[in-house]
Each structure stands twice: as C-alpha cells, then as structure tokens.
Amino acid sequence: MGDFSSLGKLLESAQEHSTVVGKVWLTVLFIFRILVLSAAAEKVWGDEQSGFTCDTKQPGCQNVCYDVTFPISHIRFWVLQIIFVSTPTLIYLGHILHLVRMEQKLKSNETSGADKQALLGHKPKGPIRDEQGKICLKGVLLRTYVFNIIFKTLFEVGFIVAQYFLYGFELKPLYTCSRWPCPNTVNCYISRPTEKTIFIIFMLAVACVSLLLNLVEMYHLGFTKCRQGLRYRRAHSVCDTESKVPSEDVVVPFVQNYPYFPAHAPPPASFPTEPHFNLSEPDGTFPVHNSRSVYKQNRENMAVERNGKPDTADVKISKTVSSVPGSPSSQQRRPSHSSRYSSNKTRMDDLKI
C-alpha cells in the first residue's frame, strides 16, 4: 500500500485549486479511504484465501468455490475504486498545470510578440489567476471542474452498484458450491465474517459520503455561479438604464425634441411638404408689384410691336397695381396736369404712326 504516497501528493496539490466542498471530499478520500485501506485492510483481509475452507478433499474444488464466492478481492476492488474516483481530479490538476504553463509562455513572449499580435488582431486571453495569485474557476477551467464532479459521481455510483451485484454488502459464514470438479454440493467457510462485514459497511458508508459531497458540491457550484450571474445582470441593467435615461437638469446638445426625452416638448404633427408664402403682403420679400409691373411692360411692348393699343385688362392690372399700398407708382410723385396731357398726346401720336 506504499504506492498511495505518490497519488496522495498529486491529490494534495489539486486540493489547493478546489472549492470548499471539494477540499472536504479530498480530506475524506485521504483519511477514510487511503489511510484506512493502507493501515487496516491488510490485517483484516490478509487471510482471505487461506481462511477459506471447504469440507471436501477433491483437488481444485476449494479454489473453484473461492473464485465463485469472491470474483474479485475486496482490497483490489477498493483500490480500483480509489484510482477511478481520483482520475477526474488528476485530469483537472493536469489541465490547471497546462493553463499555468501556457500563461507563463504568453507572458514571456508578451514583449516580443506584442506588435505582431496587434497587427494580426489577436486578443490576449484573460489570466487564470486573480490579484492574490489564486486560480479562478471560470471559462474552460470551470467546465473542466464540472466534468470532474460529474465523472466522480458516476464512478461512485457505478462501484457501489458493482459491489452489490458481485458479493453484496454482507459476508455469510457459510457458502455452498456445486461447480465442477466438486463431486457434489459442498459447504465452504470463511474466517471472521463479522469483522469483514463491518469493514465492508464502513467502506460503503465512506463511498456514500463521497457521493453526497459530490452532489452538494455540484449544487453549491451551480447556485454560486447562478447568483453571481444574476448580480452581474442586475448591475449591468441598472448601469444601462442610468446611462440611457438622462436627468431633467442635464441638457442634451444637438438632439431634436423627441418625446422620449422627458424635458423636451413633443415634435409637430407633420412638416409642410410645400412652402407657403403670402405674396400679397406689402412687407414681403418679393412684392407683388414687381411681377405685375414686368407683366404690364411686356404686354405694352407686345402691343407696340403689333401697332395696336394695349389691352383693357392690362390697364385694369396697372390700376390695381397702382392701388396697392407700398407700390412704386403710389410712392412716386404724381405728374402735373400739363405733363400728363403732353405725355398722352405724345403716346397717341406714336401709336398713329
């Protein structure tokens, strides 16, 4: 049983990177399994085959009956159970050592390959250690730890069921055997059946405790991670709402008046599709007399070219334009009586030509 020393050292190093329940599980494995099996199993089960006797002198019958009664020795069965149950933990430890080694390589190549990684767009992975230098259970390492617990639970259940189907949980003082080469049904006896039964029950109880610890650790790990996730989501949602909703005293620059800002008025119902200008206003940018005067002048010029009189509509339009307040005709000085008649006479003479 001295071969358990190397296994114990490996499991001790894995204990540093486990949860509280995982450390309790490793303690139970060390004390109540490895230590008890190393110290007491040899003395209790040392005469397992030598103390097995049958009431026959037939050669080979006793060995055949012993093989039927105990398909595998209890000590070897428990050793296999410890090895299989400890294997997921050793794999988890190997994964930790691999990640630590890779992190050290990245740190050593950080200065030399920083520019190259920046050009290629490679983002460095987060460290697996926190500020205190402890291993953080997150990401790939967390998944490895969860698989470690699951496989340990499956192995525990498998070995408990296998022990029950192989030879049960109790040793009887008398066994019967009728296999060849025994001439007939013979009776076989084992030594110290009560002591061995107590030892079997003790090892079974330790296996059940380990199984319970695995289930508790799985629940504890899942509950802790779910609680951390809920806290992170609540904090993230609060930060988002505080950043999206401004206070009433805060002035948002370069933002139109939209209804989702409580400090601003709602926008107008619709925007005008076509510009509406009142051209009849006297103070407008484009007075109406300008366009009408141009129209009147054009009509008069066309009439002169045709050797005819101006239309009556143009005369009416000119009167209307002259009556508009603010027009140039109303603002200009009225001509005298003589000048008015002289201008009309000249115009009539021109038209007669």
pLDDT in tens, 184-204: 888 888 888 888 899 999 999
Answer whether residue 121 is part of any domain.
no
Answer whether residue 33 is part of any domain.
yes
Domain tally, the chain: 2
Residue 157 has pLDDT above 90, yes or no: yes
Segment 246-269 shows an average pLDDT of 52
Distance CA 349, CA 343 (A): 10
pLDDT in tens, 21-52: 888 888 898 888 888 888 887 778 877 778 88
- Assess whether 173 and 82 both reside in one domain: yes
- Assess whether 293 and 219 both reside in one domain: no
Answer whether residue 200 is part of any domain.
yes
Give the three-state DSSP class for 97.
helix
- Assess whether 196 and 291 both reside in one domain: no
pLDDT in tens, 65-84: 988 888 888 888 999 999 99
Distance CA 25, CA 19 (A): 10
Say which residue, 109 or 260, is predicted with more confidence. 109
Q: Which domain range does residue 92 map to?
A: 4-111+127-227
- Assess whether 19 and 104 both reside in one domain: yes
DSSP 46: T
Beta strands in 172-228 (DSSP E): 174-177, 186-189
- Assess whether 209 and 286 both reside in one domain: no
- Assess whether 221 and 289 both reside in one domain: no
- Assess whether 33 and 181 both reside in one domain: yes
Say which residue, 3 or 100, is predicted with more confidence. 100
- Assess whether 203 and 311 both reside in one domain: no
pLDDT of residue 206: 94
Answer whether residue 290 is part of any domain.
yes
Answer whether residue 190 is part of any domain.
yes
- Assess whether 205 and 294 both reside in one domain: no
Cis peptide before 310 (omega within 30 of 0): no
Residue 149 has pLDDT above 50, yes or no: yes
pLDDT in tens, 200-245: 999 999 999 999 999 999 888 887 767 766 776 777 666 666 666 5
- Assess whether 92 and 190 both reside in one domain: yes
Answer whether residue 309 is part of any domain.
yes
- Assess whether 14 and 95 both reside in one domain: yes
Phi, psi at residue 182, to the nearest 5°? -70, 135
Query: Residue 18: which CATH number?
Result: 1.20.1440.80
Answer whether residue 252 is part of any domain.
no
Segment 134-158 shows an average pLDDT of 85
pLDDT in tens, 292-344: 777 787 888 888 777 654 454 444 444 444 444 444 444 444 544 444 444 44
What lies within 8 Å, CB to CB, of 185 at 6+ separation is 176, 177, 178
